[in-house]
Structure 1
Amino acid sequence: MKEIDVKLEDYQYLLPQGKIAAYPLKERDSAKLLVYKNGEISHDTFKHLGSFLDKNYSLFFNNTKVLPARMHFRKDTGAIIEVFLLHPEQPTRIVQEAMLVKNDAVWACTIGNLKRWKDGQVLSRQLVVDGKEVELHVQIVNRDKRWVKFSWNQTDSASGDLNFVDVVEAAGNTPLPPYLNRAAEDIDETEYQTVYGKKEGAVAAPTAGLHFTDNMLETFKTEGRLLDELTLHVGAGTFQPVKVNNIKEHEMHCEQIVVYKYNIENLLQSKKILAVGTTSMRTMESIYWYGVQLIKGEAEEQNLFIKKLYPYLYDDAELPSRKESLQAVLDYMEVNLLEEITGETEILIMPGYDFKICDALITNFHLPESTLILLIAAFIGEDWRKVYDIALKEDYRFLSYGDGSLLIRH
């Protein structure tokens, strides 16, 4: 295994509360854009992103869509219980299938006011979904694991035909990040989604993509750029604070990804690869390591799973090229007649990581002492400090609703 010695204390910076963008800008693409290339920094507006990208760049987006994952239920005593969806457990752990489940489902959740919610106690809410009256019931089925059973039925029909996603969209609120320090408002229902979000299942937005408009995407297509979409369902773990100084001991969050055959084909034909957001980057780098597993005979049957420290097991001389690894994934899918593979990644990208797929990154500005700052430091080295110092000095807006950056390594 590679010798990696990364200390959290080395990735601290002072972020004043006033630098955190509490609300989105009126126009998505009017955000400021910091451009880092070859160690040099310049400033522009996000709508001019294309002028900094030569025609060899292919853009890869994360098309996950944010669920209104935060729900509230009132007990007879008046106490409010908050249920926050994390990931599905039954009858399926595959997010896209779980969205279509009818009648009942079990999800792992975080639960606010847990002590006031007794085992066996059913909490209920009346909803209106597509003009139909619906009763939604929740019950704890595993307190230790925080598993909650959701069941629903139409009051005017013996057999309901509503999917879980229909019910959640009627019952839930937008799961804004805790650092915004405000409740969700109507504006967040649309602004905390990318314009290209399609696959319901995230509980946090892939925020780098929030700056894109339909007009920008159409312009890129007109210019002949390759645009592609893959899927990583962003989990609440993305906000999980790092509590250990030795980063390798951090319990990295696991997120579900969906890799499509056309993704692999497009990656193979791309000369330069631009990840729109850290989630797209984590997905593509994970695809590379899945190819390594296939080549080395370490992949379980049709099971894409990348452990957090797997990339550090091998010296670079032992590893296949980008093309070889991607071709191994494509060959595997063709032999097994697969159009997509669903898997999970807990990949931890930190200084010392050698990027295999991504040549450039679009991202917002992240919290100090977070796994995302470690990813940025891995990508551009110690220059991350220069980037953040200048962003603070130039009054950039930070975090989810903040401004963007384009980081080009070479």
Structure 2
Amino acid sequence: MKFKLSNFNYKLPKELIANRPVPHRDESRLMVVHRDTGKIEHRIFKDILDYFEEKDLFVLNNTKVFKARLYGYKEKTGARIEVFLLRELNAETRLWDVLVDPARKIRIGNKIYFGEDENLVAEVIDNTTSRGRSIRFLFDGTYEEFRKKLVDLGHMPIPKYLQREADEEDEERYQTIYAKVEGAVAAPVSGLHFSKQLLKRMEIKGVETTEITMHVGLGTFKPVEVEDLSKHKMDSEQVWIYPEAAKKINEALDQNRKVVSIGTTTLRALESSLTTENRIIPFNGWISKFIYPPYTFRLPLKLVTNFHAPMSTILMLKSAFMGHELMMEAYHTAIKENYRFLSYGDAMLIL
């Protein structure tokens, strides 16, 4: 069957979109889906260890979200402008790729002022897309002082659909507890369910972990606007598969131990770093792999993921991973059972 965009539509009730995280990270709900039998179970996330044994391996994405959302004012008019930092292009010249909103107000040559003292200024250098701009920051200070200024003025980039400003709770909860390597503009949300207590229980049980880094970009959530999926292009995202992680994953697979990918970002990164013999190799670079059915996964992994939006690229990956009919059945069950959806929502374990 050739899949089209419309195959991935479903009706998501607004009241099921989680606006806030549950009080305790590991007490979100967990739907367990068995691909071999089609069986669906309803558990709590901290029960996840019931499905794993000593020496099984969890692969975590240790990317750290940075405060990518800034608010400034356009010179002369004073119009409030949101500047969303995507990636640093050149540290020496302080050149960045950004998104601006409202974009129609921002043209090449415009300046945007930030902060009450207005000593951080951005000049628009180029138009990259309808909302995208290249900007150069002008700041009288060292690079370290400049980066500190960005942190001081920045806001946690919680999703727009939440329709609210980020607050202190988001500062903590829109970040995994094992986040280390700064560079993501969106959280690897499957990892948000892990608590310190759960990681300690994993350690006691002998369930192992290893870490990779994939800086989640907005491309993961970029809407698919073509019915023919082969015409959709993913934005590039930066990945590091460390030698130690590659070694641990290969050894676990060789010994028929369970290996579970925490999140679709981790899964895409691993699938993008395989040799022809299906071995994970160390990797440092950019990937833009778009996974949609029909696709044969080359690694026999399990997957932890959240419940994602209709017609999203992540939904398409999950369809390829677990089979389209079973995925749609799981989603319809989740709606019927009032699971919480999207970034702060509940989790799914696919075995």
Q: Could you say whether these structures have the same fold, taking a TM-score greater than 0.5 normalized by the shorter chain as the test?
A: yes
What is the aligned partner in structure 2 of residue 202 from structure 1? 184
CA positional deviation for 1:163? 5.6
Q: Does 1:376 align with 2:334?
A: no
Task: Identify which range, 20-29 or 141-150, moves more after superposition.
Answer: 141-150
What is the aligned partner in structure 1 of residue 6 from structure 2? 9
What is the aligned partner in structure 1 of residue 302 from structure 2? 360
Q: Does 1:232 align with 2:227?
A: no
CA positional deviation for 1:231? 0.5
Q: Does 1:81 align with 2:81?
A: yes
Q: Does 1:395 align with 2:330?
A: no
CA positional deviation for 1:358? 4.5
Unaligned runs of 5+ in 1: 91-100, 128-132, 155-159, 293-319, 331-340
Q: Does 1:284 align with 2:281?
A: no
What is the aligned partner in structure 1 of residue 139 from structure 2? 152
- Give the number of aligned pairs: 340
Contact 1:281 1:358 in 2 (8 A): no
Q: Separation in 2 of the partners of 1:235 and 1:153?
A: 29
Task: Report the TM-score, using the length of structure 2 for normalisation.
Answer: 0.91
Contact 1:67 1:168 in 2 (8 A): no
What is the aligned partner in structure 2 of residue 51 from structure 1? 50
What is the aligned partner in structure 2 of residue 105 from structure 1? 94
Q: Separation in 1 of the partners of 2:152 and 2:160?
A: 22
Q: For 1:174-203, what per-residue CA distance to the aligned partner results, in whole angstroms no more than 9, with x for missing partners? A: 111122222222211111000011111101
Q: Separation in 2 of the partners of 1:245 and 1:108?
A: 28
Runs of 4+ in 1 over 3 A off after TM superposition: none
Contact 1:203 1:235 in 2 (8 A): yes
What is the aligned partner in structure 2 of residue 182 from structure 1? 164
In structure 2, do the counterparts of structure 1 residues 126 and 13 end up closer, same or farther at CA, with 3 Å as the change threshold? closer
What is the aligned partner in structure 1 of residue 291 from structure 2? 349
Q: Separation in 2 of the partners of 1:55 and 1:389?
A: 34
Pick one of 116, 119, 129 that aligns with 1:135. 119
Q: CA RMSD in A?
A: 1.9
CA positional deviation for 1:114? 3.1
Q: Separation in 2 of the partners of 1:68 and 1:32?
A: 28
CA positional deviation for 1:164? 5.2
SS of the aligned residue for 1:85 comes to strand
**Amino acid in structure 1 at the alignment position of 2:10:** Y
Give the 5 Å matches for 1:164-183: 165-183=147-165
Task: Identify which range, 374-383 or 143-152, moves more after superposition.
Answer: 143-152
SS of the aligned residue for 1:357 comes to coil
CA positional deviation for 1:121? 3.3
Give the 5 Å matches for 1:287-306: 287-288=273-274, 291-292=275-276
CA positional deviation for 1:134? 8.9
Contact 2:28 2:347 in 1 (8 A): yes
Task: Report the TM-score, using the length of structure 1 for normalisation.
Answer: 0.79
SS of the aligned residue for 1:194 comes to coil
Unaligned runs of 5+ in 2: none
Q: Separation in 2 of the partners of 1:89 and 1:162?
A: 16
SS of the aligned residue for 2:140 comes to strand
SS of the aligned residue for 1:162 comes to helix
SS of the aligned residue for 1:78 comes to coil
SS of the aligned residue for 1:188 comes to helix
Contact 1:273 1:357 in 2 (8 A): no
Q: Does 1:251 align with 2:233?
A: yes
CA positional deviation for 1:113? 2.6
Percentage of matched positions with identical amino acids: 36
What is the aligned partner in structure 2 of residue 221 from structure 1? 203
Q: Separation in 2 of the partners of 1:200 and 1:358?
A: 29
Q: Separation in 2 of the partners of 1:234 and 1:248?
A: 22
What is the aligned partner in structure 2 of residue 35 from structure 1? 32
Contact 1:177 1:239 in 2 (8 A): no
Q: For 1:216-266, what per-residue CA distance to the aligned partner results, in whole angstroms no more than 9, with x for missing partners? A: 112112222220110000001122111111111112121110121111111
**Amino acid in structure 1 at the alignment position of 2:108:** D
In structure 2, do the counterparts of structure 1 residues 358 and 163 end up closer, same or farther at CA, with 3 Å as the change threshold? farther
What is the aligned partner in structure 2 of residue 67 from structure 1? 66
What is the aligned partner in structure 2 of residue 405 from structure 1? 348
What is the aligned partner in structure 2 of residue 303 from structure 1? none
**Amino acid in structure 2 at the alignment position of 1:149:** R
